[in-house]
Amino acid sequence: MFRRQVKNLLFDFPKLYDNIFIRCFMEIKVYPEEPLVDDRISITIYGLSPQQKVTVKTSVTEVKSTFSSSACFISDASGHVFIDKHPSMLGTYTGVDGMGIFWSMTADPGQQKGLRYLKRDVTTPQVVNLSVFEGHYSWSDCHNISQEPLVSSKVERWFLHKSVKREVIRDGIFRGTLFTPSGPGPFPGVIDMFGTAGGLIEFRAAILASRGFVVFALPYFQYEDLPESLTDINFDYLKESIDWFSKHSNVINNGVGILGVSKGAEIALMLAMKCPQVKSVVNINGTPFCSYCPLGPFTNFVESDFSKFQYTDEGVHIWDAMNTHFKPEHVLKTWESDVQILYIIGEDDKSVDPDHANVVYNCYPDNQKHKLTIQRYPNAGHLIEPAYLPVCRASFHKIFGFVFVWGGIKEDHARAQEDSWKSILKFFKRTLLPNNKGKSFPSHL
């Protein structure tokens, strides 16, 4: 029996030696090493056997929630996998897309339904764990792999560049967070507003500031001593915040921009009509009318009909509830203000009717249409985030207590996020730097 064990050990030794030897020379290289989240990344796996089948699994934890993605590759004749050049055969995305392992991250099984990836602490990186396994596995099977990974590594993606200053604002009535780039100012100023999620959300402002803008992340309800309800939002507080920010010493004295999504975009349009300091607005799938309830001087609102909620296994569709009573006379008359508007439309939006954009365009007088730019994205949903962030088709809404379906086909929505983010950066540079085209942005941008 002892001889048989020795014989078996000698028989298995070359295979065991080869396995150890190969693993010693396996490596995952990432470039750049500390990217911003909207940077494209090159990931290469070295040291595999030629034509070897492998599965790449990513995972990230945000607070207590975990998200992951997977992609299956076949190495080339040199035993390399170039994630930005080789097609994924199976996983949370397929085809050639170097950023697919990031935007296709999905909430892991066994957690609360309707989780949305939302970076809360922008002073820390998004730490993405990368693991490479022998063979091809589906995303669901990746959670039950018994083998050890061939090689592992981590990628740290930053929302906030290390040179950007973050300052919490509690000045009189003003609340929020101010992000200021390094270098000699002043800089073009942008106010960032989210929708009915409420509270203070900083991740988009942090990315924007890392691209050379001074940005004020502005909450307007359910934060500290601000109102708890949408019906109690203080419009004067918003106007005074615009005035305070536009006069800040680090903001170019040329007017400011507002970036808004959903309800935040709707409010941005109202502020553009009442605040001459506002020179440009990016409206990401916001209603072009006052919705749900009156706000300040805007008393002609479109009432929501919650009886028209449609309940499905995926979640609640709110499209009919939000759009049934809308008429052209409800359109906010932004053409009467000296403001440029970039209107970003997801044509698979399950919350706001994408055809509202046509109504808005027709309402604009011909001699004012040059102030309105409409960008449509087929198969994109409501929550169009900055480039390469995880696509969110449905998420739990804490105000209403339901999972809302926002829409979007994953691959098309991801492309919309990448393209629209580039457009947003260009739009704000163009509209907020008309007399400062020679101004240099920080060197890392």
Which residues are the active-site residues?
262, 349, 382
With 0-12 CB in 10 A as exposed, 13-18 as middle and 19+ as buried, what is 164?
A: buried
Q: How far apart are the first and last CA of the chain?
A: 68
**Which of 426, 424, 434, 431 minimizes the C-alpha distance to 280?**
431
DSSP states of 296-320 = TTB---BPP-GGG-EE-SS-EE-HH
Which candidate, 174, 182, 178, places its Cα nearest to that of 205? 178
- Asked if the peptide bond before residue 32 counts as cis, ω within 30 degrees of 0, the response is yes
- Residues whose CB is less than 8 angstroms from the CB of residue 319 and which lie 6 or more positions away in sequence, other chains included: 310, 349, 350, 351, 352, 353
183: alpha, beta or left? (left if phi > 0; alpha if psi -120 to 50) = left
Place of tokens 């892991």: 108
CA dist 246 and 278 (Å) reads: 9
Cα angle 146, 149, 151 (rounded to 5 degrees) comes to 175
- Helix residue ranges per DSSP H, 25-110: 100-103
Residues with Cβ within 8 Å of 266's Cβ and at least 6 positions away in sequence, in order, are 260, 283, 286, 287, 288, 289, 290, 291
